[in-house]
Each structure stands twice: as C-alpha cells, then as structure tokens.
Amino acid sequence: MIDLTGKVVLITGAGGEIGSATARTLVRAGGQVVLHDIDEQALAAIAAALGEAADSVTSDLSDPAATEDLWDRALAIHGRIDVLVNMAGIYPSASLDDPLEQWLEVWDRSVAVNLISPAVLCRGAVQAFAAQTGGGIIINIASRAAFHGEDPDYWHYAAAKAGIVAMTKTIARHYGRQGVTAFAIAPGYVDTAFNAAFRDKFGVEAAAADTGLGEVAQPQDVANTIAFLASGLARHTTGATIDLNGASYVR
C-alpha cells in the first residue's frame, strides 16, 4: 500500500539513528532519497548502503544561510523534492547553575539547529511545493517534550520542539490549497544514543516503565510512521502531530 516510487525525499540528519532507519525504509518503499547530515562519515555509510537510490549533501544546520544553500543544492539534484523530512536535532544540556552567557550559548545553538534551520527548509519547501505539479509533503520531527515539557536542563529543547509543532500547524493551515501538506511527529523516548544522558543515569527500563506498552520505541517505529505520512495516504491529517510515545503521555 505504501509506494514511494518516483518520489524524492530530502532527509536531514540522515546519518543519525532514526534518520538512517528512515532512509532505509523509504528506499525499501521505492523512494529516491537525498541524505543530509553534518557527519560526513555517518552520511557516507548510509549512502553506500543505499546505492543509486541515494544522493548526499553535507551542511551545518547551526548556520541558517548554509541551510538555505543546502535546500538549493538538494533541489538541484533531481530538479524537485516531493517530501521534506526535518529529522536532524541536538540535545545539549544547559544547567541553571551555568553562567548566563554559557546557558544562552546552548539556547542559541539548540534553537538554530532544532527550530530555525528546519524553518528555513520549510520555507524553501513551501515555495517549491506550491510551484510544482503534485505539491509536496513536509514531515517535521518534534518531540513529546513540546507537550509534556522536558527535564530541567533542556528548557531550550522543549521550547524549540513546541515551535516546530506551531510552525507545522501554520504551514498546514495556509498552504494546503497550494498543494502543501505538513505533519509533525512527537516521539517520546526512542532507543538511540540521543538519550545517553538519561539512559546512563536511569536505564532504558525506567523509560519503558513509563509507557503503556512496557517498552520504548525503536528508530524503525518512527521510520514506519514517516513512510505512511510520506505516502500521501494521510493527506487529511495535515496539521496534526502524531504522538509516538507508547502512551507514556496521552493528551
């Protein structure tokens, strides 16, 4: 049922754990992927595994100007992008006990990577999708933190991800008639090294105990949801945020 044949998908953070699972899944469904990451080694590994179905672009999302250039380079590869997956993200800690300058430095970096660069890519996508036959689909990776809040050292992350949700709703409400649909996914704890700080302190079992399923999500669970949204089968879900947290937080 899910067939991405003929679709070009740009995935940021594709060298990461959820990003690479997503890339593999979308290619298995017939898609052509443009993989992005700042980590050239991780990017090369996933690109090599996917062969001719994948192209790669590197760029630092902490720089919005470089991000605009990334969009242009990615678009030029096939002359169109049908689906944008804003996956890249960072999770640095910022303690209240840190000096203000240091605390704000983390805010700046987090908001740049987790919110502003995804916004720059959405901006490019809305303009391109509105101008092309068939429109396009935006899938933004938010977080349970947007609704539930986050641990004390991560105010910036919760705030940035809440911004992603609000931005996604805004795009969905205003550009649907021009062929643009937009979705957010809000994962809870996914079993990746992104959560190393929590896992090392409390263990993955603590996160699993908090869910209704008694287990944490794997990268493949997020990838499956992205494949469904990317297929276009959920068009009338535009503007929605899909919770993916094993009922650890039901809203």
Could you list the active site residues? 157
- DSSP string over 21-45: HHHHHHHHTT-EEEEEES-HHHHHH
Q: Is 218 in the site for ligand NAD (CB under 6 A)?
A: no
- DSSP string over 52-117: GGEEEEE--TT-HHHHHHHHHHHHHHHS--SEEEE---------TTS-HHHHHHHHHHHHIIIIIH
Give me the least distance between CB of 62 and ligand NAD, in Å please: 4
Residue 190: helix, strand or coil by DSSP?
strand
Q: Is 189 in the site for ligand NAD (CB under 6 A)?
A: yes
Q: How far apart are CA 20 and CA 5, in angstroms?
A: 19
Q: Which of 4, 18, 34, 162 binds ligand NAD (CB under 6 A)?
A: 18
Amino acid identity of 207?
A
Q: Tokens 């991000």 correspond to what residue? A: 67
Q: How far apart are CA 207 and CA 190, in angstroms?
A: 9
Q: Which of 73, 194, 220, 249 binds ligand NAD (CB under 6 A)?
A: 194
Q: Is 39 in the site for ligand NAD (CB under 6 A)?
A: yes
- CB nearer to ligand NAD: give 19 or 31: 19
- CB nearer to ligand NAD: give 143 or 238: 143
Q: Is 87 in the site for ligand NAD (CB under 6 A)?
A: yes
Q: What letter does residue 210 receive in the DSSP assignment? A: T
Here's the x/- map for ligand NAD, 143-182, by CB under 6 A: it reads as x---------------------------------------
Site for ligand NAD in 64-83 (CB under 6 A): none
What does the binding site for ligand NAD look like in residue numbers (CB under 6 A)? 13, 15-19, 37-39, 42, 60-62, 87-90, 113, 141, 143, 187, 189-190, 192, 194-195
